[in-house]
């Protein structure tokens, strides 16, 4: 399973999680999972010294690894139960998928950039985590394994993709940043019945654009 032998990184990770815990609005269960995962493993060597700053950092293909606070915030909104089937749109570095898996979720993650998927698969293998991955258009979801108890979108959408709402289980939750390419609000959408959805809007964030058929057409 996951392990890190670098004591300096381990201490920095502990201090970051402590600072997030003091904010008081995040799930202890989520933060406990993040305490286990070595975020430096998801970064190029030139950025690893910044792994435990509470900030988004660049990864390959002009993408980013999300700010730790943002990861904790979005994951907490999903309110994951052991065994929940969770769809992640935007694998990126693979960090978020690892957090979801440590919380007991069965994770399905989609990424449109093949190089990122390959790198993420290698990290999952190194950590001994079983995470289902696919290269494809995340805006149309992954219908083969629907419905999902939770869907998390780690890129900014101009609107909520209909396909993702359709693939949400009754009682399930969809967490997605929606807005312009420069600023978004976090939406939490709960499926109350076959046709009824309840939407709440929380804080403002900034993500890379969600590219695809039901997202932005270009970066």
Q: Which residues are catalytic?
A: 66
Contacts of 182 (CB under 8 A, 6+ apart): 206
Helix (H) or strand (E) segment spanning residue 110? strand 106-111
Contacts of 45 (CB under 8 A, 6+ apart): none
Rounded CA-CA distance 52/105 in Å is: 25
Residue at token pair 């890190």: 4
Dihedral angle over CA of 66, 187, 135, 194, nearest 10: 150
Contacts of 146 (CB under 8 A, 6+ apart): 87, 166, 167, 169
Residue at token pair 């969600």: 210
């Amino acid at each position: 399973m996951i392990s890190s032998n670098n004591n300096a990184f381990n201490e920095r990770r502990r201090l970051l999680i402590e600072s997030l815990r003091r904010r008081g609005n995040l799930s202890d269960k989520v933060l406990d999972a993040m305490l286990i995962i070595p975020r430096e493993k998801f970064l190029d060597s030139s950025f690893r010294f910044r792994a435990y700053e509470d900030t988004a950092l660049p990864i390959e293909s002009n993408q980013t690894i999300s700010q730790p606070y943002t990861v904790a915030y979005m994951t907490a909104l999903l309110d994951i139960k052991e065994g929940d089937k969770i769809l992640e749109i935007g694998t990126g570095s693979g960090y978020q998928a690892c957090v979801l898996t440590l919380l007991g979720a069965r994770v399905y993650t989609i990424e449109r950039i093949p190089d990122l998927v390959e790198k993420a698969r290698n990290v999952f293998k190194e950590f001994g985590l079983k995470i289902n991955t696919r290269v494809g258009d995340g805006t149309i979801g992954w219908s083969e394994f629907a419905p999902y108890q939770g869907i998390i979108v780690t890129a900014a959408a101009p609107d909520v993709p209909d396909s993702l709402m359709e693939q949400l289980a009754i009682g399930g939750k969809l967490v997605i940043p929606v807005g312009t390419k420069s600023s978004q609000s976090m939406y939490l959408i709960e499926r109350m019945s076959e046709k009824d959805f309840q939407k709440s809007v929380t804080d403002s964030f900034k993500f890379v654009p969600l590219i695809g058929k039901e997202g932005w057409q270009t970066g």
